[in-house]
Structure 1
Amino acid sequence: MTPDTLPYAPIELVARNPARGVYRRWRLHAARDLFGRVTVETAWGRIGAPGRTLVRSFAAEDEALRYVRALLRRRAGAPRRIGTGYVVA
């Protein structure tokens, strides 16, 4: 699930496990800003709730790609951490 290039189209993942009360969403969007920097916006929270958002800016695309890969590795470990995996929404 680790990309070779930045996913400039938004990625939306959801994790649902009613037995455990898990209803989570996670969204990632990478884009270039007006100054040529790469911004990575991550939003997460409970499905249906406002949730939280974090925006990070990177001077080089390879730095942003390393950050995105680390985030996706963390999502891949969800079955171990929360008892259910994320699927593409």
Structure 2
Amino acid sequence: MNGADLPLPVELVALDPARNIRRRYAIVASVDLFGMIVVETRWGRIGAAGQVQRHAFADQAAAERHIAATLRRRGTAETRIGVAYL
């Protein structure tokens, strides 16, 4: 697998200055030295260190399912935190 086959990086931002909400969510997929697809998710307040989570997948379909599930959850942000990710 090469880098051309990987899903594109995703960057989401939720801003509401009136409520002091400044959140960032990023998803990046890459291939490690063993040929596994590593999906790295970073989230947190803009300007802060935030948190990171990495998941390794043996095939691209599993990695894409994980990314799709994560994006579905981010899609509900407006009902959960009152601000949609853009």
Same fold (TM over 0.5): yes
Aligned to 2:52: 53
State the match for 2:25 in structure 1. Answer: 26
Runs of 4+ in 1 over 2 A off after TM superposition: none
Question: Can you give the 5+ residue segments of structure 2 that lack an aligned partner in the other structure?
Answer: none
Larger RCO of the pair (alpha carbons < 8 Å, separation 6+): 1
Counterpart Cα distance in 2 of 1:27 and 1:78: 14
Alignment-derived partner of residue 17 in structure 1: 16
The answer for the alignment partner of 2:76 in structure 1 is 77
SS at match of 1:65: helix
Q: Which amino acid aligns with 1:47?
A: I
Consecutive unaligned residues in structure 1, runs of 5 or more: none
Counting aligned pairs with the same residue, the percent is 50
Structure with the largest fraction of helix = 2
Counting matched residue pairs gives: 82
Task: Tell me how far 1:39 sits from its aligned partner.
Answer: 0.3
Q: TM-score, normalised by structure 2?
A: 0.88
